[in-house]
């Protein structure tokens, strides 16, 4: 595991990462396994959970987090990614990048001397998928479940397809036509599922999809970078809201997930988001614990 750009990069270690995250969450702390280590955190996109969780994780492990926006770097003045990577990675022990284009992070990693973590790109969000899997394991104690994602088949969905396939969880994406997940990632996930027994589906029939689901998941309909399409997106996705009526079709003990930020009364209603079946705030907290596990396994001695 040299870099974590995709869930595919941790396919042999995903259960170890979740186990280590549980240890960090349950443990009293006090050890500083990353003392003397520095993590550069490069943000092309603004962030709440990614920045705070990585910064706190690095601090709690004894290391130093270095926040860098693109305006802080010569990237903002036209320096090429390759040169930034060559120079930056002589100073630090690891790099986390939250970027627009996935290929920019791949390009950076190709010229990096240290591990690179994808903090989010337009293609994948592996750290989020790990936090989601940890939350499900905590609440349900198993991955022998049916999860249904409702809404836009975005970067989070792409990572969830791979994670659920690796862990043997059944996963259905219910989305409008034209909002399906990345076809190449779906193809790769289906290939993995052949060996793990995971049942993966993409459908446009939301009410049929959520029948008896034990986990319901959604995300914003208008992500950063999609603002020009907002009017059309809100129209196309209006039937894909997680509300109390939709929740009633799922398993009575179903849990609800949302990777945040949430827009009330668009993709999810207030009563569901903060209702008794919501695990959203545990899910948000678990970003910290899985990122501590990733940093420990990548940067630790």
Which residues are marked as active site?
98, 125, 128, 219, 259, 287
- Which positions ≥6 away from 46 have C-beta within 8 Å? 224
Distance (Å) of CA 162 to CA 155, 158, 167: 11, 7, 9
3-state secondary structure of 200: strand
Q: What angle do CA 131, 224, 71 make, to 5 degrees?
A: 100
Distances, alpha carbon 49 to alpha carbons 65, 80, 159, in Å: 15, 28, 17
Angle (nearest 5°) at CA 63 between 59 and 68: 80
For residue 52, whether the previous peptide bond is cis, meaning omega lies within 30 degrees of 0, is: no
- C-alpha distance across the termini of the chain, in Å: 14
In angstroms, the CA 173 to CA 175 distance is 6
CB 75 within 8 A of CB 81: yes
**Residues 169, 149: contact at Cβ < 8 Å?**
no
Rounding to the nearest 10 degrees, give the CA dihedral for residues 106, 166, 247, 204: 70
Task: Judge whether 221 and 263 are in contact, CB under 8 Å.
Answer: yes
């Amino acid at each position: 595991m040299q870099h974590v750009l995709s869930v595919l990069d941790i396919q042999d270690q995903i259960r170890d990462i979740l186990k280590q995250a549980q240890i960090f969450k349950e443990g009293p702390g006090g050890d500083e396994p990353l003392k003397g280590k520095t993590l550069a955190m490069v943000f092309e996109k603004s962030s709440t959970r990614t920045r705070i969780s990585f910064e706190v994780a690095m601090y709690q492990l004894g290391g130093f987090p270095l926040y860098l926006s693109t305006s802080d770097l010569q990237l903002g003045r036209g320096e090429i990614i390759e040169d930034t990577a060559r120079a930056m990675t002589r100073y630090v022990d690891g790099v986390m990048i939250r970027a627009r284009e996935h290929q920019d992070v791949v390009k950076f990693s190709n010229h990096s001397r240290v591990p690179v973590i994808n903090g989010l790109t337009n293609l994948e969000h592996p750290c989020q998928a790990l936090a989601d899997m940890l939350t499900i394991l905590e609440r349900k104690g198993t991955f022998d479940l049916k999860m249904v994602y409702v809404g836009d088949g975005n970067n989070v969905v792409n990572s969830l397809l791979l994670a659920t396939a690796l862990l043997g969880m059944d996963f259905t994406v219910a989305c409008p036509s034209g909002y399906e997940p990345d076809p190449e990632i779906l193809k790769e996930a289906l290939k993995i599922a052949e060996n793990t027994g995971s049942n993966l589906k993409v459908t446009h029939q939301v009410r049929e999809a959520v029948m008896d689901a034990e986990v319901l998941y959604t995300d914003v309909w208008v992500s950063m970078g999609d603002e020009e399409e907002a009017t059309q997106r809100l129209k196309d996705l209006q039937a894909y809201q997680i509300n109390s009526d939709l929740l009633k079709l799922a398993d009575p003990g179903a849990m609800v997930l949302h990777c945040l930020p949430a827009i009330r009364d668009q993709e999810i209603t207030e009563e569901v988001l903060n209702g008794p079946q919501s695990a959203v705030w545990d899910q948000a907290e678990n970003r910290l614990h899985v990122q501590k596990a990733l940093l420990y396994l990548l940067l630790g001695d």
